[in-house]
Structure 1
Amino acid sequence: MRDPAKILVKKEELTLQGITQFYVDVRQANWKFGTICDLYKTISVTQCLIFCNKKEDVEDIAKQMLEKDFVVYKMHGETEPREREQIIRMFRKGKARVLITTDLLSRGIDVGDIRLVINYDLPQKKESYIHRIGRSGRFGIKPVAINFVTEEDFSILKDIQTFYSTQIEEMPGNIADYL
């Protein structure tokens, strides 16, 4: 870019307004996969982003979900640029409905029908939280963010709530009513 405009937004001006946020106490990291499978049996998803912190987790979760006949796509920093572009194009058109990714996709993608963002892993930097769940709720859609939280993650969840002055409630049993 030539002479780009730089826009700085103060933390106080960042907003999660309009995004319904929940957490699921999964206790242990190895219970996350069973939890996501149970969740998908309960809800109908138009489009969803699932964020992981590591590419190995993206690969592993995608493999396990595909083995259980879930239709998912995956993308991370080592995904070839041509494949990455194709996946994003399919996701924008609604042909790819569930995308498992790292923070690679937490900024810069506008997709109109993302109703659900799942933080399979809480972000390593609390500043990334708004970029992840901010992928939802565009174009008048009422978004939901679900955060999987292990016993060790509760302090991170508390930090996120404090940092953004927001409340993240435990996910209710009637989650389908929110989507």
Structure 2
Amino acid sequence: MDSIEAPSPPFQSPSRSSQQLHFYLAVDRPQFKMETVVELLGVLGRRQWLPIVVCCSSRDELDAVCSSLSTLPYISLAALYSDVAERERSMVLEKFRQATTNWNQKLNSAVEEGLEESETGKDEKKSHLVVVTDVCLPLLSSGESCLSARVLINYELPTKKETYTRRITTCLASGGIVINMVVGGEVTTLKSLEESSSVVIAEMPINISEIL
């Protein structure tokens, strides 16, 4: 994980609030991008029940991400793509929303420590991750709910403000964290998104898992 010229000052860790946080994670070369996201999720994915969404711009990238992440044993992985059956889509969305409920209960100390395995199975305790393309984001206008993920990873940085905003609106919970994967040639795009979206995109802190 290498550094690029920061569009914003270094991040100062706040207390947990409803404010969404936007970060970038610099990758020196495109060929290191997959390795970097696997490394990142190797850290974040160990948090029980953590709901994560990874957004891709294309089906090819979605397939590549799913293939690379499928070996991580502590993540329950699902994908939403254009030709997924409606019933399967509904099941993926429902399971993910249950994960967000479990995560919120955990944050609110409503989940007791030391739950018996019979009460909460191993699969339910895993972090839950959905990989999705832009064309398959939840349709809020059709009655689908926001995924309300705690973490949104933009594996492919959108070039338009509208796409960036739609990903956040349909995927991220209040107080959630956005992590933008950025290679060297995308610095200008990142700065443009920051300015047009009126958000501060700071360099991702090393202790990212501590501010979830």
Scaled by the length of structure 2, the TM-score of the pair is 0.68
Deviations 1:48-90 (A, max 9, x none): 1100000111111111211343431111112222221221121
**1:111, CA displacement in angstroms?**
3.5
Within 2, Cα distance between the matches of 1:50 and 1:60?
12
Within 2, Cα distance between the matches of 1:97 and 1:107?
20
Alignment root-mean-square deviation, CA: 2.0
Kept in 1, the 8 Å contact 2:154–2:180? The answer is yes
Instruction: Between the two structures, name the one with larger relative contact order (CA 8 Å, sep ≥ 6).
Output: 2
Within 2, Cα distance between the matches of 1:160 and 1:152?
14
List runs of 5+ in structure 2 lacking aligned partners.
1-17, 100-123
SS of 1:172's partner is coil
Q: What is the correspondence of 1:4-83 to structure 2 with a 5 Å cutoff?
A: 18-43=19-44, 44=47, 46-69=50-73, 70-83=75-88
Instruction: From the two aligned structures, give the one with the greater strand fraction.
Output: 2
Aligned residues: 159
**Could you say which residue in structure 1 is the equivalent of 2:137?**
105
Within 2, Cα distance between the matches of 1:83 and 1:150?
34
1:174 correspondence with 2:207:
yes
Compare 164-173 and 76-85 and name the one that shifted more. 76-85
Which AA in structure 2 matches 1:144?
I
Change (3 A) 1:107 1:171: farther
Within 1, Cα distance between the matches of 2:24 and 2:156?
11
Deviations 1:99-132 (A, max 9, x none): 00011216523235x2100000012422111121
**Could you say which residue in structure 2 is the equivalent of 1:120?**
155
State percent identity of aligned pairs: 25
Change (3 A) 1:148 1:107: farther
